[in-house]
Structure 1
Amino acid sequence: MGTESIRVLITDDHPVFRQGLKGLLQALGVDVVGEAECGPDAVRMAAELQPDVVVMDLHMPGGNGIEATRTITRTSPRIGVLVLTMFRDDDSVFAAMRAGARGYLLKESGAEEIARAVKAVAAGEAIYGPEIARRVLTYFTDMPDPRQAAFPELTEREREVLELIAQGRSNAEIAGTLFLSQKTVRNHVSNIFMKLHVADRAQAIVLAREAGLGESTPR
């Protein structure tokens, strides 16, 4: 999709910023079909005008951009929302992503970056400014493995035993895999049952698999 065929609705409560952004986009051949100064206006105008992209500020009097984004993406999934804001905090970034925004840029972004983002969002792509992309990447890189977060009451060895139980291994197989005696394995299994408040192996397997354990294929 070329820029000349992209229809954009600008949403921002600052008239001077809207005017500047409109001029920038029009100079690039983008068709600015409307301007809204608050979330509710954006929702109404998006429904009426059906633009390709809504450029959305987040914090505005009379209705915030997060709720507007959520409503627009739910009622008109074909419309892409590009957040353009001064807020760079994690809460704002991830709230916008959860609401369905396809892009997130800071207002300090250059004209070329904004134009590239509008075109990408119109094409159905997701795009983030460099700082926001680093923030998102760091967030997901630092997320703990849910399998490690599960069952904190277990020791590391008990977690290893539970992993093998979830794979359907017998006590003898677990003993061979971990180089333990079968008596030691039985003790670990008993401790696991007690700590997880389960009555038998079947219940332990259900809990473990719900937590993502046991996904490896038994050898």
Structure 2
Amino acid sequence: MSVAHHIGLITEDNLQADMLRHYLMEQLAQDIVLVRQTEELSMLCSVIPQLLLIDLDYLKGLHGSRWRDAIMAQSAGARVVLLNAPHDVGHEMLVDWPNLSGLFFRRDPLQQLVSGIRRVLLGEMWLPRQLMSELLCYYRDSQPQGRRQVVGLTLREQEILRYLMTGASNGEIANSLFVSEHTIKSHLYNVFKKIHVKNRLQAMQWAKEHLDARGWH
């Protein structure tokens, strides 16, 4: 039985968008709500976790900053997946989305979109390697030196962070530690709160700055 997620698709209201919504619902076995106005975000705000699929082509003509402000105000905890990204997209645009979990280009095939969203629903990330590298560098350079210390992390949480640094998925970490994937998700939720980060990329950068190889098996 699949786990129910509350997913919003932010795009224009037309036949193509409705066909995409129904295709994704069928492939993901999830209900997806079409969101066309910022006021409609309130329908998704009462339930967490949330996932927002955002059509960048739609936002381009509708003052994207207004949508970002609305999402941060009404759905600050929602993970974000950007659709129809231009191939020359840089990290400068992506840092405007703190909870970015995935990105797909305009010409990406539908099956790749489905596969990526499935990984995001499992708590992982789906970003091109180059963009991920650029974002990690950005977060590293923007952090004041010595701002955070390894305070309050258990040995198991530090171990999970080290696995995260390698790019391992939740499932791969769970297999390595002989625990359930749900246990890994719970640990990561607690870790994110303790080190004050919002997503896996920021946690990876934090770990690279604050954890060394001591105690690594």
Please report the TM-score for the alignment, with normalisation by the length of structure 1.
0.49
Structure (1 or 2) with the larger CA radius of gyration: 1
Please report the TM-score for the alignment, with normalisation by the length of structure 2.
0.49
